[in-house]
Structure 1
């Protein structure tokens, strides 16, 4: 792989080039003393340490130029692979005998392409096999708490005390599922009315893991499940994105369907299989503890390659480190080109689709379905576009890799105004009707196109499974956007089943690209954290409870921006219009997802180095580590729960960050939920965000001195270093609530106005689509005006009063500067004012206060009579001071 698109990252988190070596022999292959080289005149360029490859096994070596060859460690050559094509050889210890090679000086490797591997064909006969049949011995448990976290999904977990069963398992107050239960599998009252979750572990052996080319999980289930293969989530249905010990199914699976196996293709996870012991771990989910029944019954089917043969070199369809390569192909069909790019239009036009590959055929569709070699119309002439239309196309040629599917959405605003779901009380209004075309073009557009028509069913439950989708970003002013393919699902908790639903798009190689690489938040910069430009996942937030019952669409955007304005990390966002298969779906909040991927984008390193945690009501219910092992978070929780976390947990939580998080949270009225991420290996303490800010923009609903997550705020107040914590707390209050800080009236109003101005015109279209259920333009505008004219002018003073009453902020006036930084005129003195008798100050950047409270011995003082202080010169031009 000479241009790694992220298929395999090295331990540094880099997408380094890589080389894979396969041992086709019947015994271990010892590579000690062998060489890899990319130069024919330097056959000993990089030497292997002592390393063996088992029979039929694979070894991955990163061609990164990092030159690491320690025995037992990740291997890195001292050279990179040339994308233009070059020579590559495996050389025997004598330094001259070539064991295997690609290319030569006169006939080098062909040009290499991003994400496309090159290698030898590996095929053979295929044999279906059942790795886990029905009735397989297993272990089951009804969890009583979350103490196991996700350790129970891993191969080495000790399940000795669990119930011995054979699959399937569950309970039934009637008799429907009784024939489905294996020996000991009817758990009856041990599960019924005890928990909505069930843990099941099925151990199985694989004799030759690299030979497994396809993997299918078949499930009978009522009502939902999440499946893990050797600790990694591989399939789910009717399941939250992250599960805890008592999670509830997010939808129902009818009894009539539950007894029929449903297949889930998990072939993308064959690399997780071990030669030897493996475990399939399943968390079964029920809709409620009072449900009359529950069923979990898995089978695991595989296709094994036997009598494998190795053919000639060529390009390969997908990266497959650790497994057989499959067939090769000779080249690529050039991408399709559209004569007219996606965008907004007033009049009909023709579209022509071409490819530069000779003898290639193009097929296209106009109904949103994905074209293929056998599906769609053959392109033979211009396509007439006279209204909102989605054109999807691909090109293919025998022996070549076909193109991906290109999608272009052509939007006619006048046509959109007249769609069936649009309310004529808005679109034909004398006030709003004339603004509709401009409203539909007021913010960028996201167009999602998917074959699963269930996403268009407003009355359904949230869809948790990912379905392939095309995503386009279209700018009304003609700025080039993007089109990629990803996995579409809904997200949101159990109380978010609104007709207008939130969507999540995951970028995975099985759908298209492993990451979206585009500056989707360009223009929404914060100097300390400019927005990322590559993403694993992006969210499209509907507004949820904030659409009407708790607010007017602005709370989450406002709190995200507030944390950024306060100098912290927070999800970047922007407002967009959303279309589903050409149907206008409303104005949405396009938002970064708080995750390990987001953390690595802003703080460096691999996302594998980070943990991300979610906690719901009371800052701890349904707590789940959804990225990472959870070890760092477990250590952190222990420190937060013990005395003096201000000192003892300082390396585990960003204290200033959690103080800011709490100051912001108590200034509003949202639920007590958070997300956090951190990295032990990179020295990044956990940083916090308000997870669900619905309702924040209301009168404060929490005590100013709330105990916080795991009562950490209370413990910091009462610790042995409480005076230092108290000063930090007062400093953060002073920073944000005084002197034009981020939470002063002017800044709050400015921040909200900026987002209201961004969303106002587009909101007319939102109201045309959803206003009868949520907010009309007048009530939306009225809500924002009340915040600007009444709420924010009073909020800061209210909060300062509460902080003082709670003992969080002193009554003495901190020194107030006549000018807070910036250029100083030699003719204009800078003054400090306070109601105290003495000011300690420094001119060298040091803190005038030492830990513990004593004045800094190097601090200068300004003493005066509070009844009539005389001016004291304390700053001359050229100094820095604090």
Structure 2
């Protein structure tokens, strides 16, 4: 890359893609325009562009230099990644493109008109072809220095008891904030420590926009991005949080950076606009620290740190074809100024001009001195390779007729060093990866196959193929401990704690089939919390455009065929219960099916890594913002998703925190106050969520493993998400065995698992008599419905039957105790049988309710009965309500039906009964 300005070439190479060339540090000057070797008076058609046969050629100083139809790296001002084209002004004068046109067809020469767009001498311009139709080029503006005079550092070593984290000044410096060459700098050598007594680790390297006083704020609301030139240790991650006065700094809006190990790197961080989180009008500083998952030492040195409005490049009103095509820059006289034809490009490569057009790495606002290749090898005929699957008879792969095709086995990718083989005998389990590779040519796509020589399992099989070193290398593999693991559990510093994603090919074999249902390239990352230290690990499989497809379009869960588009799925080892059982978490959350509470669907599969059997896993959804795209078609960027402590998984925490602050000082026995809360949360959803957690007896909750969510645009009421119920269903991990309702409403509980801030919402809601009645009576219904013993036992039997034939092999593979796991399974079954009675008694005792009062509810005709708005899911059900405690019943029509009345002569669709006075009641429909 060459950039024409007065900076060093290294600095310019980094700053150019971020528009620093002319906009942040200096403007580019015409130091050596002739080095481009462009002739501004000749058509670029002569250098391999489209021939311009239909329209006359006029030529001009502006030429095409790069085309990127499948953009995976360079974001526009709105955070999107549409295809782009790069133009270069070869002249010594500014060129005004106003009134010119960009088109992909000579039949439509005036397809899109440029507006106010100027290109400085010897400078580049990127135009996004996004369909957004922004004809003007808006220069960056409103730059603000974020490094003020205030600075402080704090680590958990200053807490009581003290932790072991440190944030030392950089070598040769006395302080973390200092002046250098007349500029304010920030720097530290930091590492989060581990302290079992303390139970947490923390570092704050804080720099104020002013004095660090929360009232000394800076208004950066005109900005939409932050640019930071910094050195960060390569591969290490740093958390950058914006501090605003109404939120603790450790809960501020977070951006995470991964270090390059290069001091000239400029990290670009997009800022959301029009939100109260972050509140860009009131920023008083920035908190720097190692990312929460970063256990190794990190060196950080910040050279410059600014907020700005990046403006925006022009956006054409049409999109680039990803299959190849042509582009034309046309003047008002319908003559071609320049044109380019480009082929279908492999992911991560652009069509770029250097010494002729060819394949190159993307370099927006820069110039690639050398292309990677001028040609690309044709893809191998995949028909030469039988599909991945289970085999019993040997066969031969004949490659004699495939010019330049080379293959590697074991998961490794082929390279120029791979030796060509005319034929390959496949007579044992083999993973083979093949591509056509030739000097000075871009390799073809890789063909990956997994051939397993054994009988196919009765459950789905997932084949994962990846470079074995990326997984199992003793130093760098993400599935192993590596050289930096701490000796004590959970072995922080181990490679499996790294937030690192590796490329993988994933294939799914449905039972009874001869070929994969899908074969996709994706990213693989170790997933989970303490369960990472298990020998069998959970992983997340994420689909991204840089690997191929941005989503998997396939119905992963046959019981839910409508769920057919996934950004990510998990291969879960059963979390904390790995080695104890196979079903606890999935069972506990799935009993809520039909109640409208979000939970992670699942099914079993056996997994093979590079052909090696890794045993039983659960294919599960992941509880991220992408879940809501799959289930509701909602934009993941418009989801507020919060954890138990209101930490942000997606979106903003501000409105929910304001709601809980309001609850602190307002009681809900006031009906107006209750109506306000009912407008902010989905009360029915909350009750069903709470009842599921309470029934499961989850004691790693509500201060943990709780999520709530809403759509932020348009705004919807808050709802709740079930996940990670590993402590439930008879698990003996917890020391807490008191009445579950007492546990969930404690006003003085420990911060974990049931501190008062986490029980506040339920406590406040129970102050309202209407909510309290619904809470009690709906639980009574659920004990005869979703939570009824025979239903739960049937669910257990169904889950276990799916994997029964695989259990012995899985237990042998991982050295698991069959007797221990049988004992745990029996504990789960006993819990299912005993729990309805236990929770009924605890409900009765906690709320001081009357005796059991059974009422049989039945339906005659096409309709339903609702109990406090909860639909009864059977035509006849006997529910054990409580004497002296009224119950609200409603008759709900089905399409085309008419409500006649109740069997006792009552005609109102909604009524109140006293259970001791009504032993049975029927709703009549016709």
1:202: Cα distance to partner?
Answer: 9.7
For residue 808 of structure 2, the aligned residue among 728, 739, 764 is 764
Number of the residue aligned with 2:379: 334
Q: CA contact under 8 A between 2:238 and 2:291: conserved in structure 1?
A: no
Number of the residue aligned with 2:834: 794
State the SS of the aligned residue for 2:804. helix
Q: CA contact under 8 A between 1:600 and 1:610: conserved in structure 2?
A: no
Number of the residue aligned with 1:56: 124
Number of the residue aligned with 2:523: 487
Q: Are 2:751 and 1:748 aligned?
A: no
Q: Distance in 2 between matches of 1:202 and 1:392?
A: 50
Q: Are 2:395 and 1:349 aligned?
A: yes
Q: CA contact under 8 A between 1:336 and 1:395: conserved in structure 2?
A: no
State the SS of the aligned residue for 2:779. helix
Number of the residue aligned with 1:502: 538
Q: Are 2:563 and 1:531 aligned?
A: yes
State the SS of the aligned residue for 1:350. strand
1:768: Cα distance to partner?
Answer: 0.8
- Deviation readout 1:221-264 (Å, 9 max, x if unpaired): 9xx95236899xxxxxxxxxxx9679xxxxxxxxxxxxxx9956
Q: Distance in 2 between matches of 1:444 and 1:190?
A: 41
Number of the residue aligned with 2:171: 180
Q: Distance in 2 between matches of 1:336 and 1:560?
A: 45
Number of the residue aligned with 2:556: 521
Number of the residue aligned with 2:325: none
Number of the residue aligned with 1:447: 464
For residue 694 of structure 2, the aligned residue among 663, 666, 672 is 666
> In structure 2, do the counterparts of structure 1 residues 268 and 803 end up closer, same or farther at CA, with 3 Å as the change threshold?
farther
Q: CA contact under 8 A between 2:501 and 2:525: conserved in structure 1?
A: yes
> In structure 2, do the counterparts of structure 1 residues 723 and 48 end up closer, same or farther at CA, with 3 Å as the change threshold?
farther
Q: Distance in 1 between matches of 2:375 and 2:781?
A: 63
Q: CA contact under 8 A between 2:390 and 2:452: conserved in structure 1?
A: yes
State the SS of the aligned residue for 2:299. strand
Q: CA contact under 8 A between 1:344 and 1:476: conserved in structure 2?
A: no
Q: Distance in 2 between matches of 1:561 and 1:637?
A: 29
Number of the residue aligned with 2:924: 875
Q: Distance in 2 between matches of 1:648 and 1:836?
A: 29
Q: Distance in 1 between matches of 2:265 and 2:593?
A: 37
For residue 628 of structure 1, the aligned residue among 616, 640, 651 is 651
For residue 556 of structure 1, the aligned residue among 585, 599, 610 is 585
State the SS of the aligned residue for 1:522. coil
Number of the residue aligned with 1:88: none
Q: Are 2:407 and 1:386 aligned?
A: no
Q: CA contact under 8 A between 1:59 and 1:322: conserved in structure 2?
A: no
Number of the residue aligned with 1:689: 721
Moved more, 402-411 or 494-503: 494-503
For residue 590 of structure 1, the aligned residue among 608, 619, 634 is 619
Q: CA contact under 8 A between 2:466 and 2:610: conserved in structure 1?
A: yes
Number of the residue aligned with 1:434: none
Number of the residue aligned with 1:412: 453
For residue 542 of structure 1, the aligned residue among 542, 566, 573 is 573
- Deviation readout 1:665-713 (Å, 9 max, x if unpaired): 2222341222333321132444333443223121794622513787465
Q: Distance in 2 between matches of 1:182 and 1:807?
A: 63
Q: Are 2:682 and 1:654 aligned?
A: yes
Q: CA contact under 8 A between 1:446 and 1:473: conserved in structure 2?
A: yes
> In structure 2, do the counterparts of structure 1 residues 286 and 570 end up closer, same or farther at CA, with 3 Å as the change threshold?
closer
Q: Distance in 1 between matches of 2:573 and 2:423?
A: 38
Q: Distance in 2 between matches of 1:711 and 1:732?
A: 25
State the SS of the aligned residue for 1:575. strand
1:796: Cα distance to partner?
Answer: 1.4
> In structure 2, do the counterparts of structure 1 residues 299 and 735 end up closer, same or farther at CA, with 3 Å as the change threshold?
same
Q: Are 2:289 and 1:283 aligned?
A: yes
Q: Distance in 1 between matches of 2:297 and 2:68?
A: 50
Number of the residue aligned with 1:468: 503
Superposition pairs of residues 165-244 of structure 1, within 5 angstroms = 180-185=171-176, 196-200=201-205, 219-220=232-233, 225-227=236-238
Q: CA contact under 8 A between 1:216 and 1:264: conserved in structure 2?
A: no
> In structure 2, do the counterparts of structure 1 residues 375 and 676 end up closer, same or farther at CA, with 3 Å as the change threshold?
farther
1:556: Cα distance to partner?
Answer: 1.4
1:542: Cα distance to partner?
Answer: 1.6
1:475: Cα distance to partner?
Answer: 3.6
Moved more, 183-192 or 801-810: 183-192
Q: Are 2:417 and 1:375 aligned?
A: yes
Q: CA contact under 8 A between 1:11 and 1:606: conserved in structure 2?
A: no
Q: Are 2:752 and 1:704 aligned?
A: no
> In structure 2, do the counterparts of structure 1 residues 354 and 695 end up closer, same or farther at CA, with 3 Å as the change threshold?
farther
Q: Distance in 2 between matches of 1:629 and 1:354?
A: 59
Q: Distance in 2 between matches of 1:178 and 1:874?
A: 75
Moved more, 492-501 or 33-42: 33-42
> In structure 2, do the counterparts of structure 1 residues 175 and 473 end up closer, same or farther at CA, with 3 Å as the change threshold?
closer
1:595: Cα distance to partner?
Answer: 0.6
Q: CA contact under 8 A between 1:463 and 1:489: conserved in structure 2?
A: no
Number of the residue aligned with 2:406: 363
1:40: Cα distance to partner?
Answer: 5.0
1:629: Cα distance to partner?
Answer: 4.8
1:492: Cα distance to partner?
Answer: 2.6
Number of the residue aligned with 1:737: 783
> In structure 2, do the counterparts of structure 1 residues 449 and 660 end up closer, same or farther at CA, with 3 Å as the change threshold?
same
Gaps of 5+ in 1: 74-153, 166-170, 204-214, 232-242, 247-260, 302-309, 414-436, 847-855
CA RMSD of aligned residues (A): 5.5
> In structure 2, do the counterparts of structure 1 residues 189 and 865 end up closer, same or farther at CA, with 3 Å as the change threshold?
closer
Q: CA contact under 8 A between 2:71 and 2:83: conserved in structure 1?
A: no
Q: TM-score, normalised by structure 1?
A: 0.63
Q: Distance in 1 between matches of 2:729 and 2:741?
A: 16
Number of the residue aligned with 1:781: 822
Q: Distance in 1 between matches of 2:388 and 2:842?
A: 53
Q: Distance in 2 between matches of 1:47 and 1:360?
A: 46
Number of the residue aligned with 2:281: none
Q: Distance in 1 between matches of 2:665 and 2:422?
A: 73
1:383: Cα distance to partner?
Answer: 0.8
1:491: Cα distance to partner?
Answer: 2.6
> In structure 2, do the counterparts of structure 1 residues 9 and 412 end up closer, same or farther at CA, with 3 Å as the change threshold?
same
Q: Distance in 1 between matches of 2:192 and 2:887?
A: 67
State the SS of the aligned residue for 2:740. coil
Superposition pairs of residues 85-104 of structure 1, within 5 angstroms = none
1:299: Cα distance to partner?
Answer: 8.5
Q: Are 2:634 and 1:605 aligned?
A: yes
Q: CA contact under 8 A between 1:605 and 1:682: conserved in structure 2?
A: no
Q: CA contact under 8 A between 1:502 and 1:541: conserved in structure 2?
A: yes
Number of the residue aligned with 2:150: 161
Q: How many residues align?
A: 675
1:659: Cα distance to partner?
Answer: 2.4
State the SS of the aligned residue for 1:539. strand
Q: Distance in 2 between matches of 1:463 and 1:190?
A: 14
> In structure 2, do the counterparts of structure 1 residues 468 and 844 end up closer, same or farther at CA, with 3 Å as the change threshold?
closer
Number of the residue aligned with 1:425: none
1:841: Cα distance to partner?
Answer: 6.2
> In structure 2, do the counterparts of structure 1 residues 727 and 683 end up closer, same or farther at CA, with 3 Å as the change threshold?
farther
Q: CA contact under 8 A between 1:365 and 1:376: conserved in structure 2?
A: yes
